[in-house]
Amino acid sequence: MERLYNPDLMSEAEIKQTFVARQPQIEELVALIEKQPQGAGVQHAVVVAPRGMGKTTMLLMVQFALKDRGLDAQWQAVRFPEESYAINDLADFWLETLRNLAVAVETPDLAIEAENLIAKFPRNADLQEAALALIKDWCRRENKRLLLLVDNFDQILEQINSERDNAALRNALMNDGTLQIIGGATAFFHEARSYDQPLYNFFRLYHLEELTFEEIQNLLRQRAAADGTPNFEAILQANTVRLRVLRYFTGGNPRLVLMLYRVVMDSQVVEVREALEKLLDEVTPYYKAKIDSLPPQQRKILDHIARISSQTNEGLTPGEIAKATRLSPQATSTQLRRLGELGYVRAANLRVRNSYYTLSEPLYAIWHQMRFGRGPRRRVQWLVDFIKSWYDADELKGESQRLEDRFRNFFQTGATKEALSSLQHRLYLAHAMSDVPVKSDTLESVIDGYLQLGAIKELLDVLPEMEMKKFSDATLSALFDAGCVTKEVMQRMKISSAEMKIRVESAKANGLIGLAIQKIKDEMFEDALQLLSPINSWDLHPVVLQTTHFVRSVALLESGFYKEATVEAKMAMEVETELTDHSPMLNVLLGSYLQMEEFEQAMSILDQFPDHDQEHLHFLKGLCLLGLDRHQESVLSFDKEIIVSSEDPFAWFYRGLALKEQGLIKESIMSWQKAFELETPEIKLEEKWRFGLHQGNFILSVFNGDCNSARTEWMRCFRLSREQNLIDEWKEMASQTLSCMIEAGNARFIRDLIRDTQDEESLFPLARALDYLFTGDEALIEKLSPEIRNLVVEMVEKLRPAVGDAAAQPAPKARPRPAPRQRIHKQLR
Amino acid sequence: MINRIGPPVRGEDFFGRESFVDLVWQRVRAGHVLLAAPRRFGKTSVMYALIDAPRHDFRIIHADLEHMSDPTELLTELIIKLSRERGFSLNLPGMGEAAKRLLERARGVVSEVELLETKITLREQTRRNWKDIGTALFAQVATFKQPVLFILDELPMMLDRMAASPEGREQAIEMLRWLRHLRVAPEMSDLHFLVAGSIGIDYVLNDLGEITAMNDFERLRLEPFTPQVAGQFLDALGDANNIALSPACRTKIFQLIGEPVPYFLQIMFSEVSKLHSASGDKITPAKIERIYHERVLGMDCKSYFEHYNGRLRDYYKPQEEKAIKRLLRELAVTDSLTRSAAHAILHESLGRTLEVEEFNGLMANLENDFYIRQDATTYDYSFACKLLRDWWLRYYGLAV
């Protein structure tokens, strides 16, 4: 007989017969036992999985395998019960081992000996050693080793809660070959997970995965065979879709699969509801225990996910959860990670940053809704959801017809209560329907039934959940006649002329908006704005009004009217609609502020985006911070961007700029080099951006004494300045950088470079000042015009101290004296 | 051969460390050895290799000290173990006749419970004058004219535990000085010590103000496998577990994890093996890449490497810890840093002057603890191992 909570009460044959999916792990565990060394160095293991995943069954199977494979001659299995509340320290653990061993080998004297130790060794530490000594004595006497199969091992260690005891346990398990532990745990527990614990990484872990669809089929097949169910293969084939639903609702948890399957396989709607309610009632202790074992913050997060996902069927991001629960993002992430480890939630898209968390078991969401749902409709929403998944459209129609017939029968025979029950069930079916006309027809038919029964009070309870405006005039009038709706309400359901005007103008506006969007796509922004101009005076539905402002803001932004774009975007945000996500408008604001170089404003917009909602959030933040001269933070932001998009050349390039601003030349060059390496034909950086790269390389080459490289980089700078029309940048850079280089003792080399570029004109004052300093020929200065002469004289005075030494040197030094680093950096800016 | 992750490996499972064991024996003969390596590099396995096959006529006395917290416990353990050694007859004058009877009893008993009773009595009797009794014990062992190697596993852990209380701290210092005094005595030249521990002994000794207490030990560092040994290791694991790893798969594994630390190879292989036994599918480089990203770097294996992050908290002051974590984060993001960039980051994060000596010291500690390595040519720093870098990037890449 099937025992969902106590598999050890099933017969060995039945356990083996219904065991599925975990055979490879059993083989591994048995191999582990077979290959254990004689003395120290035993590998211990823990099977980690949420409740109901089959840990206890696995431990039982290992125990059977021990006997089946003849290992019981060397190994004695000792199985601990699922709950070992009496264990509070290591002494208790060893004493409990002795008691369980006494039962397993049917030697009551051993249990008595164990009890005697308690009196003999009053000190806890001594008792612990004594109990272990007695275990070793038994093993030596019987020439056997013990295989401890410890269910809920994590709970036991939590009860022991002593680092010292854990250290002693580690000593016994590691340095003595008497024992091997195979434990079961609902989570990867602190004692094995925390690096500062004696049992850290001590156990080999086996995670039990949820059952796959095929494994669920096998489980049911084997269960049916054990039950002697005839034609089960045909039943399976006929219910393939439902089995997939079953997997979804149970998260592949074998215990829940069996429970839910039994309940729903043969039931029809009325019975399904009752059976499901019974099931949910039965699983209450199971879920309650799961939730009660969690710390408050985790409980709060889980509650929120359950509540929201039961309404939306969608996952939630950590940011959304943090906001709703008012926990810090860091605490939320930590607790979510923990809940993930414990198997309560699961995250999608873990490899990218945007993780969406959902419940591991949708059945838990149903349970949550039934137990905590607010309002009668919410409390039965689970049933609606289940029906939606369980029945296809045709089946829903068939069930609806069956319930209608059932209602007629009860109504005609005066069975009012039963007739009402049929109506309620049909109402759930109607809510589960997705075909709108069919749904409206069914709802109206249900209302008609309520009215026929005169069940006005009951009808008033369910009426608010219906969309009355979709009802026919006849039904609305009937409702009015029965006093269920007021005349005003009835009239409100009819479209007023004012509403009609709004509808018409909104429809027209929608058409123009569509055309304007197409113009924007074609980059005809003026035309788009022209198209939207007549809408200004129209009465519009709020959503249409919001869209108009938004589309206009986009067109303005693209046309370069940034200020006007911000005004329109803000107007769009001010329109009250159901739309709470203002990301599109925020994007327009962001783009406008960036274009206007209003970085503070842009930062404030970026702060309004949750992390996941803005692509390249960190890149944009990095840009703003760069603009605000917050260079270190800017580098950090680009780093974060690079973690997400490591191949983005722009992130690398601007990171280089931010590094350069901090004076980290070498690092900035590395970043720029990376940026240019990552260029693709589709994503190209601006050619002129190479200027800084060559300039930096030039300076580094000079200081490294690498004349060839310096000359090459210098010429690259020069050529780029001509190709890209960067003449002013070139002059400024060349003059400042070269002065600095000269002051650092490279005058001759620099003079040669100026000559090599054949561009003495741009750098004439500098070149002439150098010539004068090298030769001392006064005529070189005297013949200049007064304006130029002053410039040259000024430069001569500036360079004289450095060139005085340099002039004596015929060529650049192999390793010139480096200029003060800070100064070079300043020049580079 | 079985892929054991966690416990020490012995016999045929002990792989690729034969020449290191030769080296240990060579050095042990000359003096005392401190086995240095990060957690899970295989220190205890090396110790068991010594115990399982003693050389040069050595007797080996092994004790795991992790759970101990006073010298009496250590001494009692050693006395009991020595008294049960064949051919060793102990007579400790400081303890009188009763002790002699106890030791005879310890030698003769077969029951573990009786042995424990003896141990408890002995412990009480040695408590008052453990140093005198200990000195007598070692002096007597030295007269046996046979070299004895005392392997003290997790000594740093014991010292750390003792240092938690003022009395324990005093006792730890006393024990360290006493042991040093014993070791340097000329008549004790046949007694040799090998010490190892999973937490850094230097940090513990430094904390106790006894940094010189073990400077007579020769440090032997357990390094990652060479590429050749690593390849053989994977082959052996594959053969024993019936998993064929093609050369391309092996290359992929080495590419992914970087430095072939045996423990990392074991974790990788274990995950490969799980997939193989669950699906029976052929292992391909693409699958290995997936296993690496989803499993090895995933939540299931996170704790295997968690101590690399956690122990920074134990070994450094809060501001230093923060600065080092910032540095590691930068390294993880950028792959390598010049010396000046590393200095700038630490300097900025510490918010104070960072002298070159202190900087060098910090970087050397990180290198020694297998966090980072320095390129011999460029002197740039990078993560010691690609796997660690990837792990750090995944779990701490965004922390500042």
Report DSSP letters for B19-86, one per residue: HHHHHHHHHHHHSEEEEE--TTSSHHHHHHHHHHS--TT-EEEEEE-TT--SHHHHHHHHHHHHHTST
What sections of A678-726 are H helices per DSSP?
Answer: 690-703, 707-723
Three-state DSSP class for residue A579: coil
* Residues in chain A closer than 8 A to B5 (CB atoms): 43, 201, 204
CB A76 within 8 A of CB A148: no
Q: What is the 3-state secondary structure (H, E, C) of A378-444?
A: HHHHHHHHHHHHHCCHHHHHHHHHHHHHHHHHHHHCCCHHHHHHHHHHHHHHHHHCCCHHHHHHHHH
Q: What is the side-by-side order of every strand in the sheet holding B372-374?
A: B336-337, B381-383, B372-374
Between chain A and chain B, how many beta carbons pairs sit less than 8 Å apart?
137
pLDDT category of residue A378 using cuts at 50, 70 and 90 = low
Whether residue A133 and residue B116 make contact (CB cut-off 8 A), yes or no, is: yes
pLDDT for the residue numbered B96: 60
The C-alpha R_g of chain A, in whole angstroms, comes to 40
Three-state DSSP class for residue A273: helix
B375 touches chain A (CB under 8 A): no
The beta-carbon neighbor of B307 closest among A140, A200, A642 is A200
Out of A456-460, A548-552, A718-722, B101-105, pick the least confident: B101-105
Beta strands in chain B (DSSP E): 32-36, 59-64, 148-153, 191-196, 217-221, 336-337, 372-374, 381-383
B7 backbone dihedrals φ, ψ, rounded to 5°: -75, 165
- pTM for the predicted model, two decimal places: 0.57
pLDDT for the residue numbered A823: 30
- Residue A398 and residue A730: Cα distance in Å, rounded? 82
Q: Determine the distance in angstroms separating the CA of B398 from the nearest CA of chain A, rounded to an integer.
A: 6
Burial environment of residue A543 by CB neighbours within 10 A (0 to 12, 13 to 18, 19 or more): middle
* Residues in chain A closer than 8 A to B278 (CB atoms): 24, 209
Q: Show the tokens assigned to A264.
A: 């729903």
Q: What is the side-by-side order of every strand in the sheet holding B59-64?
A: B59-64, B148-153, B191-196, B32-36, B217-221
| Positive or negative torsion for Cα B126, B130, B136, B142 | positive
Asked whether residue A816 carries a pLDDT value surpassing 70, the answer given is: no
Of the candidates A123, A125, A88, A94, the residue with the CA atom closest to the CA atom of residue A111? A94
For A198, which residue in chain B has the nearest alpha carbon?
Answer: B66
Whether residue B7 and residue A31 make contact (CB cut-off 8 A), yes or no, is: no
pLDDT category of residue B63 using cuts at 50, 70 and 90 = very high
Out of A240-249, A520-529, A656-665, pick the least confident: A240-249
Other beta carbons less than 10 A from residue A202's beta carbon: 21
For A338, which residue in chain B has the nearest alpha carbon?
Answer: B299
User: B148-153 and B59-64: which strand pairing?
Assistant: parallel
Whether residue B344 and residue A664 make contact (CB cut-off 8 A), yes or no, is: yes
Residue A48 φ/ψ region, left for φ over 0, alpha for ψ in the -120 to 50 degree band, beta for the rest: beta
B229 touches chain A (CB under 8 A): no
- Residue B105 and residue B118: Cα distance in Å, rounded? 8
B311 touches chain A (CB under 8 A): yes
User: A356-359 and A179-185: which strand pairing?
Assistant: unpaired
Residue of B52, B73, B325, B333 best to disrupt the A interface, most CBs of A under 10 A: B333
* Residues in chain B closer than 8 A to A632 (CB atoms): 348
CB A641 within 8 A of CB A671: no
The beta-carbon neighbor of A643 closest among B6, B303, B393 is B393
For A671, which residue in chain B has the nearest alpha carbon?
Answer: B334
B344 touches chain A (CB under 8 A): yes
Asked whether residue A131 carries a pLDDT value surpassing 90, the answer given is: yes
Tell me the percentage of chain A whose pLDDT exceeds 90: 10
- Residue B147 and residue B388: Cα distance in Å, rounded? 41
pLDDT for the residue numbered A805: 44
B47 touches chain A (CB under 8 A): no
Whether residue A337 and residue B299 make contact (CB cut-off 8 A), yes or no, is: yes
Q: Determine the distance in angstroms separating the CA of A587 from the nearest CA of chain B, rounded to an integer.
A: 24
Asked whether residue A55 carries a pLDDT value surpassing 70, the answer given is: yes
- Residue A201 and residue A380: Cα distance in Å, rounded? 46
DSSP-derived secondary structure letter, A817: P
Whether residue B307 and residue A195 make contact (CB cut-off 8 A), yes or no, is: yes
Burial environment of residue A123 by CB neighbours within 10 A (0 to 12, 13 to 18, 19 or more): exposed
Q: Which of A27-41, B246-260, B268-282 has the highest mean pLDDT?
A: B246-260
Q: What is the pLDDT of residues B265-317, one digit of tens each?
A: 988 998 888 888 777 778 889 989 988 988 888 877 777 888 888 878 877 88
Q: Determine the distance in angstroms separating the CA of B312 from the nearest CA of chain A, rounded to an integer.
A: 11
Q: Taking chain A, what is the end-to-end CA distance rounded to the nearest angstrom?
A: 82
pLDDT for the residue numbered A376: 53
Q: Show the tokens assigned to A516.
A: 């304007």
- What type of residue is B186? P
CB A648 within 8 A of CB A642: yes
B95 vs A626 pLDDT, higher one: A626
User: A179-185 and A44-48: which strand pairing?
Assistant: parallel
> How is A721-747 classified by DSSP, letter by letter?
HHHTT-HHHHHHHHHHHHHHHHHTT-H
Q: List CB contacts of B143: < 8 A, sequence separation 6 or more.
A: none
In this prediction the ipTM stands at: 0.74
Q: Angle at CA A617, nearest 5°, toward A612 and A618?
A: 120
> How is A174-218 classified by DSSP, letter by letter?
HS-TTEEEEEEESS--HHHHSTTSTTTT-EEEEEPPPPPHHHHHH
What sections of A105-162 are H helices per DSSP?
Answer: 108-120, 124-142, 153-160
Q: Report B:130-159 residues touching A (Cβ under 8 A).
A: 157
Q: Taking chain B, what is the end-to-end CA distance rounded to the nearest angstrom?
A: 43
The beta-carbon neighbor of A130 closest among B8, B116, B338 is B116
pLDDT category of residue A611 using cuts at 50, 70 and 90 = low
Tell me the percentage of chain B whose pLDDT exceeds 90: 27
Out of A127-131, A657-661, B311-315, pick the least confident: B311-315
B334 touches chain A (CB under 8 A): yes
Mean pLDDT, residues B251-271: 90
- Averaged confidence pLDDT in chain B: 86
Alpha carbon separation from B150 to A826, B9, B34, B215 (Å, rounded): 63, 20, 12, 17
Three-state DSSP class for residue A633: helix
Residue of B41, B158, B199, B334 best to disrupt the A interface, most CBs of A under 10 A: B334
Q: What is the pLDDT of residues B343-397, one digit of tens each?
A: 988 998 888 888 888 898 888 888 877 889 998 888 899 998 899 898 888 888 7
- Residue A438 and residue A446: Cα distance in Å, rounded? 12
CB B252 within 8 A of CB B289: yes
Mean pLDDT, residues B173-200: 89
Of the candidates B164, B215, B200, the residue with the CA atom closest to the CA atom of residue B31? B215
Asked whether residue A373 carries a pLDDT value surpassing 70, the answer given is: no
- Residue B274 and residue B355: Cα distance in Å, rounded? 50
* Residues in chain A closer than 8 A to B393 (CB atoms): 643
pLDDT for the residue numbered B107: 65
B227 touches chain A (CB under 8 A): no
User: B336-337 and B381-383: which strand pairing?
Assistant: antiparallel
